[in-house]
Each structure stands twice: as structure tokens, then as C-alpha cells.
Amino acid sequence: MGHALFPDLIVNGETVPHAAVAAETQNHDAPKGKPGIAWRKAANAVAMRTLLLQEARRRGLRAEPAEVGPGRFETDEEALIRGLLDTAVQVAPPSEDDLRAEWARDPSRFRAPPLWEVSHILCACDPRDKAAREQAQARAVALTERVSGNPRGFAKLAAEHSDCGSRSSGGALGQLGPGDTVPEFEAVLRKLAEGEITSAPVLTRHGWHIVRMDAVAEGAVLPFEAVRQKISDAMEKASWACEARAFVNRLVASAEISGADLRSV
């Protein structure tokens, strides 16, 4: 990509190196053969970052990188931007009346976790091994066809063909709740109706599964006191995001920027 094709990015008199924008382009999608679109997106992102860093330095803030994972820390730039927003964006916690009104709008949104009674047939494989994955998938597809033609034979097929220890109980896994299984398996449970069997095998890190939902117990609606903190946290987070956008918009409005268009972001 010829950088000379693109205008210099200048933020409040500070010229940003083309290399910084070029490095950012890898984080932005663009139609094949249209590198200019990715460059414009990258220029906007870098301009925004530059603007926030300028404001952080103007306020004399110092970077204090926080740990974001085991042994992984923010960069100084990330820490400065977080510090700026923490300093500049303050929101009051929602009032008790606001919290109750939000809960009363639709109490059925706040439920205890569901319980699923589940059976499955596992065709085990290492998904990273293409040949093993395809071989296990072919087995699972064949078993799915046999189950769909004879749903009552599920337990017998599980006992004869499943690679899971649950084969000894006809594939029954018992009652499961959120977080009890791997996320890709749980995603399937959330979509299955009672008595339904997956129409196609489902791949997880353990292999291919044919899943039957034996029973669903939807969690009871929770009283206001049980979800008060959750509602408060969500409302405060939404309010903070709104105020943060307003703060950034004020910075953009008072900035002199060429080579990017943050007013369209």
C-alpha cells in the first residue's frame, strides 16, 4: 500500500507517523482491492487514540498499567487512556426509584438459572486433527439419522456407540445448569426444546455430540432484592458509557484534525 496516497494525519498540530496508521490497518476490514477504506478506518482509530493521549498528558496523568490477565499488563497508552476516562467520566449511582422502575419494566428478565436434563451420544475426536474430526463426524451423522428414525432407541444407541462414560446410563448426563459444560455445548442446550434432539451433530472440544433435551426447568422470576445489585451495576455501566461518549465528543468538537474524520465515527 503506497502511504503517499494518503494524507498526513495531524491531531492538534501533532503529525502522526504513517507507520502508526499502517500498523493499525490490520485491525480493520475492507473489501478486497480497496485498501483506502481500511486506511481511513485506521486513521480514525489512531486519531482518536492520539486525541485521548494528548488530553491525558495535558492533565499530567501518569500511566499505571493494570493486570488484564495472568502476567499480562496494559500498555502505557492503554493505561493512560483508562486513567483519563476514569478521571474525566463520573456518574452518580442510580436512585432506588430508578432501580425499582427498571425491574418493574419486565421482571421476567431476571430469573434464576435454568436446569436442563440432558442425554447425549459422543463421537470423540481431537477437533484439531482434520482426519479424525471428519471420521468422527461421519459416525455422528450416521447415528443422527438412526436416532431421527427411531427416537425411542436413543438410550440403546448411546449404550452401544457413545464414547462418553454416560453410555452406561443410556447417555444420560443428569441435570445441568449454566457453566456446567463447555460453552459450545451449553449454547446448544439453550436452543433445544423439551424432547428435541439435535438435527445435526454438534462439535465441541471433545468431539461430535448428538444431544437430546429430556426436560427443561426454567428458572423462577427473582424478587427485586435478589437482582437489585445486578440492575444497579448494569444501569451505572450504561450511564458511564453514555457520559464517556459525550466526553469524547467534546474533545473531538474542540480538536483540529486533518487526515481523519472523527465527526462521522
71-108 per-position pLDDT tens digit: 999 999 999 999 999 999 999 999 999 999 999 999 99
pLDDT computed for residue 1 by the predictor: 45
Residues 123 and 155 placed together within one structural domain of the fold:
yes
The owner of cell 492533565 is: 59
Residues 119 and 207 placed together within one structural domain of the fold:
yes
Residue 228 lies in a domain: no
Residue 156 lies in a domain: yes
Q: Count structural domains, the chain.
A: 2
Residues 12 and 84 placed together within one structural domain of the fold:
yes
Residue 255 lies in a domain: yes
Residue 75 lies in a domain: yes
Point out which residues pair with 11 in neighbouring strands: 14, 257
Q: Is the model's pLDDT at 200 over the cut of 60?
A: yes
Residue 178 lies in a domain: yes
Residue 180 lies in a domain: yes
% of the chain exceeding 70 in pLDDT: 97
Domain range for residue 38? 3-91+233-264
The owner of cell 478506518 is: 41
Write the single-letter amino acid at 213.
M
Q: What are the tens digits of pLDDT across the range 32-75?
A: 777 788 889 999 999 999 999 999 999 999 999 999 889 999 99
Residues 13 and 78 placed together within one structural domain of the fold:
yes
Residues 74 and 7 placed together within one structural domain of the fold:
yes
pTM of the model: 0.66
Which DSSP state fits 91?
A: -
Q: Is the model's pLDDT at 169 over the cut of 50?
A: yes
pLDDT computed for residue 97 by the predictor: 97
Residues 238 and 213 placed together within one structural domain of the fold:
no
pLDDT computed for residue 264 by the predictor: 64
How far is 207 from 132, CA to CA, in rounded Å? 9
pLDDT computed for residue 2 by the predictor: 47
What is the average pLDDT across 155-165? 96
% of the chain exceeding 90 in pLDDT: 85
pLDDT computed for residue 249 by the predictor: 95
Non-local CB neighbours of 151 within 8 Å, separated by 6+ positions: 197, 212
pLDDT computed for residue 7 by the predictor: 85
Task: Report the chain's mean pLDDT, rounded to a whole number.
Answer: 93
Residues 148 and 188 placed together within one structural domain of the fold:
yes
CATH of the domain at 202: 3.10.50.40
The owner of cell 500500500 is: 1
Q: What are the tens digits of pLDDT across the range 209-258?
A: 999 999 999 999 999 999 999 999 999 999 999 999 999 999 999 999 99
Residue 29 lies in a domain: yes
CA atoms 103, 106, 107, 113: torsion sign: negative
Q: Is the model's pLDDT at 31 over the cut of 80?
A: no
pLDDT computed for residue 265 by the predictor: 59
Residues 134 and 165 placed together within one structural domain of the fold:
yes
Non-local CB neighbours of 208 within 8 Å, separated by 6+ positions: 122, 123, 125, 136, 137, 139, 140, 201, 202
Residue 109 lies in a domain: no
Confidence of residue 4 (pLDDT cuts 50, 70, 90): low
Q: Is the model's pLDDT at 261 over the cut of 70?
A: yes
Residues 157 and 238 placed together within one structural domain of the fold:
no
Residues 24 and 82 placed together within one structural domain of the fold:
yes
Residues 148 and 70 placed together within one structural domain of the fold:
no
Beta-strand (E) ranges in 76-181?
115-124, 172-176
Residues 202 and 239 placed together within one structural domain of the fold:
no
